[in-house]
Structures are given as C-alpha cells and as structure tokens.
Structure 1
Amino acid sequence: PCLTSDAGVLDNLERFLVTTLGKGVVRAKDTPNFVANRIGVFSMLATIANAEKYGIRFDVVDDLTGPRLGRPKSATFRTADVVGLDTFAHVVKTMQDTLPNDPWHGLFKTPAWLAALIEKGALGQKTKCGIYKKEGKQTLVLDPAKGEYVNAGEKGDDAVKAILKETNPAVKFKKLRDSQHPQAQFLWACFRDVFHYIAYHLADVADNARDLDLAIRWGFGWSVGPFETWQAAGWQQVAGWMQEDIAAGHSLSQAALPAWALEADRAGVHFAHGSYNAAQGTLAGRSTLDVYQRQLAPARVLGEDAPQLGETVFETEGGVRAFTSGDGVLVVSFTSKAHAIGPAVIEGLNKAIDLAEAQYKALVIWQTEEPFSVGADLQSMMPAFMTGNWAAIDDTVRQFQNTSMRLRYSLVPVVAASQGYAFGGGCEFLMHCDKVVAALETYIGLVEVGVGLLPGGGGCKEFALRAAQESRGDVLAALKDYFMAIATAKVGTSALEGQAIGYLKKTDTVVFNVHELLYVAKQEALAMAEAGYRPPLKAKGFPVAGRSGAASIKGQLVNMLEGNFITKHDFTIASLIADVMTGGDLEAGTLVDEQWLLDLERKAFMSLLKNPLSQARIANMLTTGKPLRN
C-alpha cells in the first residue's frame, strides 16, 4: 500500500487475490523489489558469490541447492535461465541503483560471465541458450573460468549429500559448518549469508517474519522459509556461528547482527500466537480479514500454533482419521504414506461411511496435505503376491470396488476434496463421489497401465457407464476417448484438464486456493444435505459396445503394434481394457448393470497380475519409482 491507499480498496483487492486468483498475499513495505525478490535474488547472488569463492561448478551448485534443500528442481542457475538472464540482471540493477546504503551493495552487480552471455543474446530458456544449453541430447553448462561450455551432469559429493539427508536440522547445520569439504562450506556460507541478510533487513522490508518466510515459500517455491530454517536449526547456536564468521571476515558483509537477533532468551521469530515484528519489537498475529475464515487449514510457519482440526471421532493405524467440527459433516483423511489405498484405508473409509450414514449429514474426504492419493498400495499386496495367495488379492480388489460403489450410493452426500496427485485408485474414488471439489493443481489420471495393470476399482466400469449415458445411440463413439485415456494412462495436469478428459465431471467444482478446499467441500456437502439429498438410483440396464466395439478398438491397436508405437504387452493390456469397457463377449447394445462390468474388470485385473511382464512392471515401479516399457 501507498501512504494514501484506501483501506477498503486494499481489503477488497486482498479478498479477490486470495479466493478468485488463489494467491497467498503479503502486504509489503514500499522498498525496492519488495519482499520475495529482495530476499530471493539476494540468495541467488550470495550463492553465485560463494560458488566462485569455493570453486563449485554450476551444475553441482544446482544439484545441491534444489530438492535436497526443499527447493525447486531448477535450483539456482536453472532458475536464472528460466526467469531470463536479462530479467534477472534487471532485478539486480534495481538493487544496485536504489539501495546504495545496503551493507551488501558491493554484491549487487551482474557478474562478468553473466553480462557476456546477455551481450551475445544467450538469455536462458527463451533463447534455448544461457547458463545451460543443449546440443542434441547432451546438456552443457557454462564454465565461467574457461568462458566455454562443458558437459553438464556432475553431482554433489556423496559425503555432503549424506549430511543433507540428516533429519535433525541442528545436527545437519553443525555437520555442514564443521566439515572441511568445500561443498559443505559453500552450503553453510549460503545459509549464513541469507540468515544475516534477513535479520539485518527484517525491520525495513516486511511487517513480520511470517510475511517474509511465506513470501519466499510462495514466490520462490521453497518448502521452508529462511527464518523457519534458522529457528529449526537452533536460533542461538546459528546466531553464535554467524557472529564468529562476521568477526572473522568470512561473511559477505561485516554489518552487525541487529540486537534483537542476539537476545539471550531468543528461541526464534515464530511463536504460537504470532511472528516477530522487528520494527516494533512485538509479535504480529494473523490477518483478521474475513476471507481467511474460508481457510480452515491455512499455510502455517514453524512454531506457529496449529490447533487440531475438529474433534477426532476415530483413528486407525495406517488407515484414516475421521473428525468433525460439530457442523454435521464427518471429514475423513487418509494417514497412509502418500495416502496410498491399502486394506487399512479401505476398512477405515467404510467405517466412516457407516458412521456418516448413522449420525451425520454428509461425508467429506479431504487430505491434510497433498497428494490426494497415489492410488492402490501395491506394497501391501506383496505378501499375498509372493505366496501366490490370489484369492486374498481378489478379495482385496472386490472390497476396493465395493468401497467405490458405497461412495456412489451412500445414504448421505459424499464430497471429495482433491489436491496434488490423484492417481489410479485415488482417481477411481473421486469418480464415484457425488461431487469433487478440486484444487486447480490437481493432477489426475487412471495410470495403472504404467504398472502393467488396468483400473480395478471401478474406473473401467465408470467410463463405460458414462459413455452409455452420453452416447445418443452410438456407444462406441462415446467410449473411444475414455478408452484412450485409460490405455495411454493420460493424466490431466490441472483440474480443468481433468474435466476435459472426463475424470472429473463438468459439474465438479474447481477452486483456485488450495487452503479453501475443506471449507468449500463442506459447504457443497451441506448444501446437498439441506436440499434433501437422496442417493442416485442404481444404473440398471445400460448399453455396451459389445464384441464388435472391442474388435473395432483392437483393429486400431494392431496398427499401433505394427507401427512399433506400443509393445506386445501394451497390446495385451489395452485389449483387455477394450474387452472390459465394451462389456465382454456380448452383442452390441446389450444391456448390462454395473456389477457385470465390475466382475469383468476384476477378472482382467487378476489375469494381468499373474502375468510375468506385468509383475516386472510392478517390481520396477516399487524399486525405482519409474515405469518400465516391456
């Protein structure tokens, strides 16, 4: 805001930005580059300076400063390429021109090698050449000392990567600082210089430490803000090390740490009831603007009070937690790893449906964090798989299907709130709910082909049913796109694309702010309940494309096989999918019910599970996390 900005206009703008655009809002002080760019670009400049000081290659820097630190894959130098080197240099020049009294002013300049790249038009990703460039399949990276490109792909040293895997932040930072390895010293220096900068400038650039951390998390994609990182590592320990480095001339500036940062009893800047405001020496609470009442689970910072959402009704080990806030809605969340769906989740979800039907107005399926679900828990099937206990696996698949059908025909409305990945069985659960409230960034698809299987929890059945309902007499024409979505494991890379493919219905709701998911899902569920919800009538007697429809699809698959677009096993899987979705060995137009297709689906799923080629795909996915083409 400017000094004369109207408070009401600002509040309305914030409401619009939060709900309609789905953004996180920080009200910045009017200083150059505001909050995120001021700190984020400083961090990049400090990283560049320390990389030169310790002689770390650019590709090694990117290997060490990306996901290993909870930051984007683009890390440091790739981020500059993505942003555009000219744009990055422009932001740096703003700091150079407008911050003459900043103790780090000497750092605010474009390195000679960067200026040379810009001079010859190598501006990064938009010109296909920058700090990195590709020649054929080979990726090259600039060596600034030589002034030429060298083969990229070098990684950080294993000993340093082992330190970064340390789960205790205090231990991790002590190991980094104590290590004599140049890469470890480089990492400590990068952290130290950013901590130094944010402490020195907090009073100038942001209203409080929470705003600064959230700005960096939202604006630069860090999973943890810099103040959170410092606090987690032990405020006093890190502050002491910084003092030593400043005194020894190791840091990028000799500016003294502010007095508040060195208070003897200081444990951090984020506390249960607020975050530190350095200008006033007080704790600042959360915004009381009404739009934030829609965020039942807002983004929180380390150390902030995070009250338990609702009162727990029941919880099962490795399965689900069900809770309520006294509004008549039972909310159920999966507690398994990546919210994978195994026997414990299926059992817990059925228990939640029973309870909702008996005592509540509605049921909402919502996860406390993304993903919604990565799908069926194949690992849980391994004991039965190894002993050849096919009957047990068949029973698990049957229970999975029955759970999908219970979601569809429950006596109370069932609304799912999805975010992140919703793959395989997770997607099938969404397809069977009365309504889905999907965050815009929902990545959804029936991806079972990647592990040599087909959707076994009702996905094939559901698409066949939808095709029949949409067909206007030509079931096969309506079915073909749905078939291709499953056969090619097509993923919708947003909720809107998920609607276009058909995983989500056109009537499903898409919300732009992920923190509003639970609120909107509850409102949708209550609206249905208050409107006198009745479960849909069971679909009895809908037409299928039959054996002639399957033959038409397989004819196209033969062409794909002969053209080497698919493997023989791909052909086997896709042919089985075609058989299931067209209703099996029946005449075109034959009327079937949902159970008929579910039985076909389960039988085909089991046949693939017993196939050695599918078993190889499953094993490869479980061991490497990547699909196998065989």
Structure 2
Amino acid sequence: MSRFNVRKVAVLGAGVMGAQIAAHLVNVKVPVVLFDLPAKEGPANGIALRAIDNLKKLKPAPLGDARDADLIQPANYGEHMDLLRECDLVIEAIAERMDWKVDLYQKIAPFLAEGVIVASNTSGLSITQLSEALPESIKPRFCGIHFFNPPRYMTLVELIATPGTQPIILDQLEAFATSTLGKGVVRAKDTPNFVANRIGIAGMLSTMKEVERFGLTYDVVDDLTGKKLGRASSGTFRTADVVGLDTMAHVVKTLQDNLSLATDPFYGSFGTPEVLKTLIEMGHLGQKAKAGFYKKVGRDVLRFDLASKDYVPAGEKSDEVYARMLKRPAAERLKLLRNAEGPQGQFLWAILRNSFHYAAVHLASIAETARDVDQAMRWGFGMKQGPFELWQEAGWLDVAKMVQEDIDAGKALCNAPLPEWVFKGPVADAGGVHTAQGSWNPSKGVFEARRSLPVYQRQHFPELLLGEAGPKFETAGTTIDENDSQRTWTLDGEVLIFSIKTKMHAISPEVCEGLMAAVELAEKDYQGLVIWSGDEPFSAGADLQAMLPAFMAVGVSAIEDAEGFMQQTMLRLRYASVPVVSAVRGLALGGGCELAVHSARRVVHMESYVGLVEVGVGLVPGAGGLTYIARRAAENAEASTGKDLLPFLTEGFTAAAMAKVGTSALESRKLGYVLHSDVIVPHKDELLFVAINEARSLFQGGYRAPHKRLFPVAGRSGKATILGSLVNMRDGGFISQHDFHIASLIANVVTGGDVEPGTLVSEDYLMTLERQAFCSLIVHPKTQERILGMLNTGKPVRN
C-alpha cells in the first residue's frame, strides 16, 4: 500500500492558528517551517520567532513539551521561499482576507514542489474561489483544511474539496490528519463556514436570541447548556469568551456576507446580537482580553449586564427541576421541556428545536451525510451527541411532528418546513438518519456507509454514533475469562487482551487476581498480553474503597496483604516471559501508573495524564512506584559517567513527593513514566491496534524478560540530603508537617533506608519499605482525613 509520506510541512502565517498548528506538528514529530512576513525591525524572522517563543507561554499549552518550540524552523517570505521546495504539505493559515490569501498563493506558486498538497486553513471562505489564484498544475492538489482552536486539543478537522480537487488528495490528507495528527476528519461541502461552524454558530446565535426572549442571565444559560445538556462544560457564553468574541463576530459576518434569505431561510436570525456588538466596541473580546461575557476580578467571577454595560456578580445556577428533567430518557426529556411552564424549560426546548430544524433544512447543502453533522458537533463543539443523534434517540417521527407544529405555529426561527425526507421514505421507515447500513445522504437518497480508507483499519473500535452498526469492545473477539472486575479476551488468537471493568478501572484485589491469571495464560498460549480497557481512563489507581471493609474488620494487616498482592502482581507483569504492553489512554494515576511502568512496553495516547498521586490522599505509592523510581535512577546512573546516584534520583523523588502528573505523553516522558522506547499514539482509536502489533513484534523479535538484578541505592547520606531540603520547605511554610512526614517516608524508600550509599538491594527489599510506609500512613488520622475528604468531595484536603 502506497502512502502519502509527509517529510516536512510549511505553515504560512505565524498568527494564533498558524503557530499552534506548527506546534502540533512538532508534537507528532513532523518537521515544520513556520513562515511569516519579514519583520520591519530587528531580525528578518522576528515575527515567526516571537510567535514560536509565545507558544511556550500559552495556556492550554500548544506543545506537549515546551522545549520542542525550538524544533519549529522560522522563515520569512522575503528570504526563504526555496524552503517550500522541501515540503510535501503546505498549510496556509493567514488572516481571513480573500485578497491577502490570493496574493500569497501567487507568490508561493513558483516555489512549490511537484506533488505537494496545498491546503487553506480557513474557517469559512470559499475554497473554490481561493483555488482560482493557483496555477492549473496545483489546483488538483488544493483543498481546504479547517483546524479547530486549539489545534492540539480539538479533535475536528474539516476537509473541503473544490470541483477540481483530485479525490486521492483528500484520501491522503484524511489519512495523515487521522493517524499522524490524531484528528477526526469530516468532509464538508464548500459552503459558508462549512459544517461545524455553520451549525454551531447558528446555534449560538439562536441561543442568544432565545436568551433575550426568555430574559435569562448568561450564567444560568451556561449552567443549562453545559454538561447538563450533554455539551461542553463551558456552556454557551464561556465558550464564546474562549473562542474570542471578535472571532465569533467574524464567523457571523461570513454568514451575513455570503448568505441571504434566498439561500438560507434562517438568515433573519443572523444579525449580530446587541450584546456582542457592545462588548466588541468596549474592547471586551473574551478570555484573551480578560473580559467578555465574564470577567474575573481577584477571586470573583462577574458577568456582563447589557442594561448597565457593567459587570455584576455571577454564579447564579439554573432551577434544579430542569437538571432532573435533563437526566430523563431522551423522549421523556424533550416532551417535558416542550410542555414546561417555566422560562428555563421553554428556553431549552426552543434551542433544541432550533438545532433540529436548522440541521435538517441544511443537511443536503453543507454535508454529504448526517454522520458528518453529528461528528462535527461532537468533535468541534464538545457535544456528547450531535443534533440528529438526540433527535433519533428521542423518537424520530414524534420529535419531527413537535418541531413542525412549532414551525406552523410561528414559534420557530423561520417558517421553512422540515424536508420531505424527514417524514416520508427510508429515514421515516428506519426511525432516524443513522442505521446499520450507514447514515442518510439526502443528495443521493440513500444510507451511506463510512469511508473504508486503509487508515480506518487501524481502528478496531471506532467512535460510533447512535444507530450505527459496528463492533463493541465489550463483546468483540473471543472471551477467555470474564467477571465483574475484568474481561480476558483476544481478537486474533495470538495476543491476549486484559480489560478492567471496575469503576474508573480501579485496581482491586479481584483485578490483580485476573491479571495474574492472564499473565499465566499468555505465557502458555499467546505471544503477549495487552492491558487495554476500551475507554478512559486507563486506571485511576488502587481501589481504596474496596480495601476499607477489610481494614475495618481486620485492621492494617488486611491492607498490608492487599498491598503485598498488588506488588507481586506488578513484579509478575515485569518478569513475564511474554511481553506485557500497557495501552494507556486518559488517566494513569497511582496504581494505574505503577501498572504501566511495570509493563515491558507502554503504548500511550498523546493526551494521557500519568503520575504517582498518592500524596494527595496522604499516602505513598505502595505498589512498586517508589521501587521503580529507585531502580530507574540506578539504571540511568549506570548509563552515565556520573558516580553519584542522587542527581538521578531527585527528579523521581520530587515527582512522587509533589504528586506531579505529566499532562501529555511527552511530559510524562520527562518525568520518567514514559520511556523513549515507548510508543506515543496521536489517535485514541488506534491505541489497541498499535499495542497488539507492539506485543507481537516484541515476541517475534525474541523477547526475553529482564534479569532480576540487584541495584545500588543512595543510602542514608542521600536520604539526609533530601531531608535537609524538606526541612527548609517545612520551616518556610511551603509544606505542612504531614506533608513533611509523607515526603520523609518517600525519601526513606527511594534511598533504600538506613544503609550505606551504593548498597545493592532488590525490588522485594524496597517494596517491603513501601508497604511499611503505606501501612503506617493508612492508620494516621491526618491521612484518614485526606482519604475521606477525597472520597466525599473528589478534592484533596490540605492538612
């Protein structure tokens, strides 16, 4: 199979989006050149250099490792156009001005390599019109590629073809965006604002109109339209602040300038809301200007009040009755909201009705299938379900009748009827737009299956929409053993898979028993064992709640036995005669981190959080985490010219004592929880494919477990040095007395206790110290306060 090999990418434009696209390319190891205009003062590359430097300061961080900013090559159009010849992909990301983009295309055309793909990261300009500035030889390899902000974190990428774009170009770019960049790709038609922004911005404008109509405040609306409604937790107005009110206004203007009542019956609702105009005139552009719909003053959050044009205290919540309504099954929920007497319920029904109405009327003109709309809203706007999914779940024809009744009664945004396909034909007969055969394509009048590009063969369990057919990881493959805590199974008969089923995939004694049995079976009949649980998290740690009954009944000896069993499970993984591969996605905290680091190899999704966090509940890592830190320090010291163990131990000690968590796979590698020999996977749905291949490859390469070696520890002098710095932190008020006590216990374990520096010890020896420290803390009143606080509130207690 031939593939599109992207050796280097040029990003044109070092603005907010261009620089962050370049950052994400560096995250996934793609060499990138960032172009901008020559600076009028100072170094010619000054604009690009400032943008690259700024990447280190932005939050959320565009870079998985801030040091990688140095890997972005700065360039300017005056001196470095020849660099374009080295690039297989050119992404233009300059300001949303058609004339500027056209002018730039004419300048770069003579320098483009043969076979290069050129793509414009525009949020709504006509791709076909842009292509007219390119030479005929390049037009077939030109398309739109619309990243959502921030590019590192937002899943959605929209690809937009012109009538002349070669189909293979889109296939190649979709494969690159999916597997290399880790994105979810939707193909949009070349219409204003494409799919997600067309539906999403129309929805935000609709929400603002209904807010005015029902007289609700922004904080109440955000409470209603956030997680309670199955949408992004930031709701409507906080999301607008994050996006930027000027950006939102620009997207609205694209609709205003490129549509009319003749082309969009909802055009009358596209007027710029008065509050948006006012805030922009005041320079309150949202989060980047530190004021928008909300403003933070000290610790207080204020909301904008249009009447007074000033800020007033925020924090008002919605009526609890609607929170209860929103938890009801979809059909009951929508009927309750439609019949609600209070303004909050009427508002919720109105915005949902408007979203169904708008999506149905425009489906044929903006997207190929209903799948594209629902995936775009999931991936681009953080919705749990797209509009068609919710409609279908609630009963297709029942909801359609309610919506049409409101249209006929003049309650909707416009009087355009729902399309005929909603009520008659295949969709009505199937009860919705998503079926086992595929999703509705209104232009062709058929249910269309997903694209079967080779890249999607890497996704054993792709993210499915309601009504779609596809394999489910809970029942796929052949089950070898299963109970309430775990499932041991295989997809191919060659590699065994172990899936944890407990809440948050917590590691209980039953999970450990299952793991022990799975390792034994893998050694006997399989080429390896993959630990993968289907969804997030990988594991949030040991199951403290499962230990409490035994602790209450028997005392601390029960805890010691449980910890000892966990430790032996970790060592069983480490010394298995077949490779054990942990496929990490989401949280791998505490015991989850220990499970990962004791595996032969880790295959880690880029956006995973890994760390030893037991200090947060007043404990120390007790399942081999501290032993791992000590052993890794010894191994790193041995591989260097240094004789002193302590410098190699300090970072690991600090990470455990301060409960540091790597907020990406790249950051976790800096902390030592992910190694350079491990594999970082950009796309979450490729994790299992890569992990199985990794296990098989290790086995077929003649894998042998490591020897059980003794290794040196820093001993009492190393411990004394660490304790000296802890005393200073305690006496300076930076840590509490209990923090000092916990950190001292951690220091005792990682340095090997009261032994001479350089003493050779075993993992079993250090694990005994771990257990003793853990058990001494579990009976400590201040640790018990922390544990109960975490169980009750989910937040760490500082005592």
The answer to whether 1:55 aligns with 2:215 is: yes
Task: State the match for 1:599 in structure 2.
Answer: 768
Task: State the match for 1:326 in structure 2.
Answer: 492
The answer to whether 1:74 aligns with 2:227 is: no
Task: State the match for 2:628 in structure 1.
Answer: 462
Which of 483, 500, 505 is residue 317 of structure 1 equivalent to? Answer: 483
Q: What SS class does the counterpart of residue 191 from structure 2 fall into?
A: coil
Distance of 2:430 and 2:450 partners within structure 1 = 21
User: For residue 310 of structure 2, what is the amino acid of its counterpart?
Assistant: E
The answer to whether 1:147 aligns with 2:309 is: yes
The answer to whether 1:126 aligns with 2:284 is: no
Distance of 1:513 and 1:446 partners within structure 2 = 25
Q: What SS class does the counterpart of residue 722 from structure 2 fall into?
A: helix
CA deviation digits over 1:230-274, x for unaligned, max 9?
111111221121122112111111110011112353411111120
User: How far 1:308 moved relative to its partner?
Assistant: 4.1
User: For residue 450 of structure 2, what is the amino acid of its counterpart?
Assistant: R
The answer to whether 1:215 aligns with 2:384 is: no
Distance of 1:336 and 1:272 partners within structure 2 = 30
The answer to whether 1:487 aligns with 2:647 is: no
The answer to whether 1:437 aligns with 2:603 is: yes
Task: State the match for 2:130 in structure 1.
Answer: none
Distance of 1:313 and 1:161 partners within structure 2 = 39
Q: How does 1:573-592 map to 2 (within 5 A)?
A: 573-592=742-761
User: How far 1:588 moved relative to its partner?
Assistant: 1.2
CA deviation digits over 1:164-184, x for unaligned, max 9?
222x11122222222212111
Which of 504, 514, 520 is residue 684 of structure 2 equivalent to? Answer: 514
User: How far 1:318 moved relative to its partner?
Assistant: 2.5
Task: State the match for 2:297 in structure 1.
Answer: 135
CA deviation digits over 1:495-542, x for unaligned, max 9?
0000011111121111111111111111111110111111111122x1
8 A contact 2:205–2:273 mirrored in 1: no
Distance of 1:223 and 1:412 partners within structure 2 = 39
The answer to whether 1:502 aligns with 2:672 is: yes
User: For residue 432 of structure 1, what is the amino acid of its counterpart?
Assistant: H
User: For residue 387 of structure 2, what is the amino acid of its counterpart?
Assistant: P
Distance of 1:8 and 1:158 partners within structure 2 = 52
Distance of 1:500 and 1:489 partners within structure 2 = 14
Which of 708, 719, 724 is residue 538 of structure 1 equivalent to? Answer: 708
Distance of 2:371 and 2:514 partners within structure 1 = 37
Alpha carbons of structure 1 residues 508 and 93: separation in structure 2 relative to 1, 3 Å: same
Distance of 2:508 and 2:196 partners within structure 1 = 41
User: How far 1:314 moved relative to its partner?
Assistant: 3.0
8 A contact 2:245–2:276 mirrored in 1: yes
User: How far 1:147 moved relative to its partner?
Assistant: 2.4
The answer to whether 1:251 aligns with 2:412 is: yes
Q: Which runs of 4+ in 1 moved over 4 A?
A: none
User: How far 1:389 moved relative to its partner?
Assistant: 2.6
8 A contact 1:89–1:110 mirrored in 2: yes
8 A contact 2:482–2:488 mirrored in 1: no
User: How far 1:429 moved relative to its partner?
Assistant: 0.5
Which of 409, 422, 432 is residue 268 of structure 1 equivalent to? Answer: 432
Task: State the match for 1:225 in structure 2.
Answer: 386
User: For residue 557 of structure 2, what is the amino acid of its counterpart?
Assistant: A
8 A contact 2:478–2:491 mirrored in 1: no
CA deviation digits over 1:122-143, x for unaligned, max 9?
1111111111111121111012
The answer to whether 1:9 aligns with 2:169 is: yes
Which of 295, 304, 327 is residue 459 of structure 2 equivalent to? Answer: 295
Distance of 1:249 and 1:169 partners within structure 2 = 25
Q: Which blocks of at least 5 consecutive residues in structure 2 are unaligned? A: 1-160
Q: What SS class does the counterpart of residue 744 from structure 2 fall into?
A: helix
Matched residue pairs, number? 628
The answer to whether 1:476 aligns with 2:631 is: no
Task: State the match for 1:205 in structure 2.
Answer: 366
| Bigger shift: residues 239-248 or 90-99 | 239-248
Task: State the match for 1:162 in structure 2.
Answer: 324
User: How far 1:327 moved relative to its partner?
Assistant: 4.5
Q: What SS class does the counterpart of residue 87 from structure 1 fall into?
A: helix
| Bigger shift: residues 232-241 or 84-93 | 232-241
Task: State the match for 2:733 in structure 1.
Answer: 564
User: How far 1:305 moved relative to its partner?
Assistant: 0.9
8 A contact 1:316–1:344 mirrored in 2: no
Task: State the match for 2:778 in structure 1.
Answer: 609
What's the TM-score, normalizing by structure 1? 0.98
Task: State the match for 2:55 in structure 1.
Answer: none
Task: State the match for 1:304 in structure 2.
Answer: 468
User: For residue 236 of structure 1, what is the amino acid of its counterpart?
Assistant: L
Distance of 1:384 and 1:322 partners within structure 2 = 27
Q: What SS class does the counterpart of residue 606 from structure 2 fall into?
A: strand
User: How far 1:185 moved relative to its partner?
Assistant: 1.0
Distance of 1:312 and 1:629 partners within structure 2 = 47
Which of 357, 365, 377 is residue 196 of structure 1 equivalent to? Answer: 357
Which of 425, 446, 450 is residue 286 of structure 1 equivalent to? Answer: 450
User: For residue 139 of structure 1, what is the amino acid of its counterpart?
Assistant: V
User: For residue 16 of structure 1, what is the amino acid of its counterpart?
Assistant: F
Distance of 1:350 and 1:56 partners within structure 2 = 57
| Bigger shift: residues 530-539 or 84-93 | 530-539
User: For residue 82 of structure 1, what is the amino acid of its counterpart?
Assistant: V
Alpha carbons of structure 1 residues 132 and 533: separation in structure 2 relative to 1, 3 Å: same
User: How far 1:312 moved relative to its partner?
Assistant: 3.0
User: How far 1:120 moved relative to its partner?
Assistant: 2.0
Which of 551, 557, 560 is residue 720 of structure 2 equivalent to? Answer: 551
Q: What SS class does the counterpart of residue 387 from structure 1 fall into?
A: helix
Distance of 1:204 and 1:16 partners within structure 2 = 27
Distance of 2:755 and 2:364 partners within structure 1 = 74
Q: What SS class does the counterpart of residue 693 from structure 2 fall into?
A: helix
The answer to whether 1:105 aligns with 2:267 is: yes
Q: What SS class does the counterpart of residue 585 from structure 2 fall into?
A: strand
The answer to whether 1:93 aligns with 2:253 is: yes
Q: CA RMSD in A?
A: 1.2
Task: State the match for 1:172 in structure 2.
Answer: 333
| Bigger shift: residues 448-457 or 256-265 | 256-265
The percentage of counterpart residues that share the same residue type is 54
8 A contact 2:532–2:582 mirrored in 1: yes
8 A contact 1:546–1:589 mirrored in 2: yes
Task: State the match for 1:627 in structure 2.
Answer: 796
8 A contact 1:318–1:345 mirrored in 2: no
Task: State the match for 2:26 in structure 1.
Answer: none
| Bigger shift: residues 242-251 or 435-444 | 242-251
User: How far 1:4 moved relative to its partner?
Assistant: 0.8
CA deviation digits over 1:353-381, x for unaligned, max 9?
11111110111111211111111111111
The answer to whether 1:40 aligns with 2:209 is: no
User: How far 1:200 moved relative to its partner?
Assistant: 0.8
